[in-house]
Amino acid sequence: MTEPTLFNTLGRKLEPFRPLVPGEARVYICGPTVYNEVHIGNLRTFLFGDLLRRSLRHLGYKVTQVMNLTDVDDKTILGAHKAGVSLAEYTEPFIRSFLRDLDTLHMERVEHFPRATEHIPEMIALIQTLIDKGHAYETDGSVFFKIASDPHYGCLSGFDLDQARRGERVASDDYGKEDVRDFGLWKAVKPGEPSWPSPWGPGRPGWHIECSAMSMKILGETFDVHCGGVDLIFPHHENEIAQSESATGKPFVRTWLHAEHLIVDGQKMSKSLGNQYTLADLLARGCSPRALRYLFLSVHYRQKLNFTFESLDGAAGALRRVDEMRFRLQHAEEQGEPDARLAEAGERLRHDFAAGLADDLNFALALAALFAYVKEVNVAVEEKRIGEGDRQRILDALKDVDQVLGVLDPADWPTGQAEDDAAEIEQLIADRNAARKNRDFATSDRIRDELTARGIVLEDTPQGTRWKRR
Ligand code: AMP
Ligand code: ZN
């Protein structure tokens, strides 16, 4: 096991990662609010969660990860209301498209995807505990967290309560709070809204309490890592800490990790600028999800990721270097003893790749180790130093790092496969046409039969040969 160093937002410093139970990592990542299709910014943060998970596993930890689905909040309720359908009917297609996006980008399914609407009793119990301990109060069927009752409030974000008090007083909103900074734990039902029964009357949970209740139910009152995008530091995560620690009297989370935002062409994504892409938008433009995954993982999670179509081309180019090496290796002849220099390069890859991950998920270092290895293999092929068994050892080394990267093997990516296939088919057709021109009908028929066997139908037209899949 290699102990990584991670940048803890709580305290804002790099720290050795020491989970509660040695060798086990319990991780919670805030999931999507399922009121529309997620955009590529959301996906950047979720992909960070996937890389964290795979990296910790690579470094020797057993990972249990939770990602909630926020299927009740202001936005989902409003959406369902406008569409004239139930909350469940409204959110279901967005949950499905979200899971499909995860699959398209080869993100692993985490162990638990709890839905807020399925954990209302746990939320009510947590709110009741907060009331009993004097940290929350009820007014007109709504319940609020009393920020003044928590001396640690602001520990994550640096939010200064006294400063805020001295500042301009904002009119309290329609729920009748004692202090404008108090936040809602339970919201009394409004006409036409879905609601659940509670000791304070019918209503629904606030967003923050959802994550506290679901994370502690599944991972325990104290767990190792909680993560999300930087915009969640305040107020969402600050409020989660306040509620959870006030209720249990125990530390809630040991390490807080936050991923920086994705921007597009140097600008914040927004609907009005027309630069807010979903994964489906990019696929429709012919972008490769494999290149997108590579692009995402190549930028450190604490740096802004500037998405441009050129950067996506750059990512595809980097992958091509690995693909070309794989191709050359496939066609290289194995001869003689296993090559000592290659064995050394393999060891270096293993060591440097893990060291990169352990350095606060420094994928730039990990990828540098990979490309140094790719270069070594290319040189070995060139110099005909591929010895007995070396090919398999190289493929195994690639496979090992790809357990984390999830992007190196073109055969794992159906569209990439189809593209490769297409190039090969075009080549066979060109060969067939050349054979026909030379009146070598035996060869042209053989190629045609081979294509037929692969389900490719040829059609000879005056403009040339067209093909399609049967
Ligand atoms: P939401 O559904 O709005 O709660 O967002 C889901 C996740 O996406 C949260 O972790 C957010 O912090 C994150 N997120 C939102 N916008 C961006 C962005 N532009 N870039 C990266 N992550 C984002
Ligand atoms: Zn959350």
Closest to 250 measured CA to CA, from 214, 215, 223, 227: 223
Q: What is the CA radius of gyration of the chain?
A: 27
Nearest CA, atom 9, ligand 1: 229
Measured in Å, residue 308 CA sits from the centre of ligand 1 at 18
Q: Which helix (H) or strand (E) holds 64?
A: strand 62-67
Q: Count CA atoms within 13 Å of residue 160 on its CB side.
A: 4
Ligand 1 — pocket residues by CB below 6 A? Answer: 30, 32-33, 41-42, 44-45, 228-229, 231-232, 261-262, 269
pLDDT value of residue 428: 85
Measured in Å, residue 36 CA sits from the centre of ligand 2 at 17
DSSP notation for 218-264? HH-SSEEEEEEEGGGIIIIIHHHHHHHHHHHSS--EEEEEEEPPEEE
Percent above pLDDT 70 for the chain = 95
- pLDDT per position as a tens digit, 369-385: 999 999 999 999 999 99
All residue ranges of the chain with pLDDT < 70 are 164-175, 415-423, 470
Atom of ligand 1 nearest to the CA of 34: 2
- pLDDT per position as a tens digit, 5-35: 999 999 999 999 999 999 999 999 999 999 9
pLDDT value of residue 456: 79
Strand partners, 39: 278
Q: Which helix (H) or strand (E) holds 459?
A: strand 456-461
- pLDDT per position as a tens digit, 317-341: 999 999 999 999 999 999 999 999 9
Contacts of 395 (CB under 8 A, 6+ apart): 326, 329
Amino acid type, 408: L
75 is written with which tokens?
């936005």
Measured in Å, residue 228 CA sits from the centre of ligand 2 at 8
Measured in Å, residue 69 CA sits from the centre of ligand 1 at 13
260 is written with which tokens?
């920086």
pLDDT value of residue 418: 53
Closest to 203 measured CA to CA, from 217, 190, 220, 219: 190
Cβ-contact 369, 353 below 8 angstroms: yes
Is 140 buried (19+), middle (13-18) or exposed (0-12) by CB count in 10 A? exposed
CA distance 135 to 149: 6
Closest to 356 measured CA to CA, from 51, 41, 65, 46: 51
Look up residue 20 and give its DSSP letter.
S
Measured in Å, residue 31 CA sits from the centre of ligand 2 at 7
Residue matched to tokens 């930087």: 230
Measured in Å, residue 244 CA sits from the centre of ligand 2 at 12
Q: Which helix (H) or strand (E) holds 416?
A: helix 414-437
What are the Cα distances from residue 345, in Å, to 298, 338, 369, 375?
22, 13, 9, 10
pLDDT value of residue 355: 98
Q: What are phi and psi of 145, to 5 degrees?
A: -85, 135
- pLDDT per position as a tens digit, 159-179: 887 776 654 444 444 457 888
The preferred substitution site among 231, 277, 305 for testing ligand 1, maximizing ligand atoms within 8 Å of CB, is 231
CA distance 37 to 101: 9
Nearest CA, atom 14, ligand 1: 42
Relative to the alpha carbon of 235, which ligand is closest? Answer: 2
Neighbours of ion ligand 2 (CB under 5 A): 30, 211
CA distance 237 to 212: 9
Closest to 181 measured CA to CA, from 205, 212, 211, 157: 157
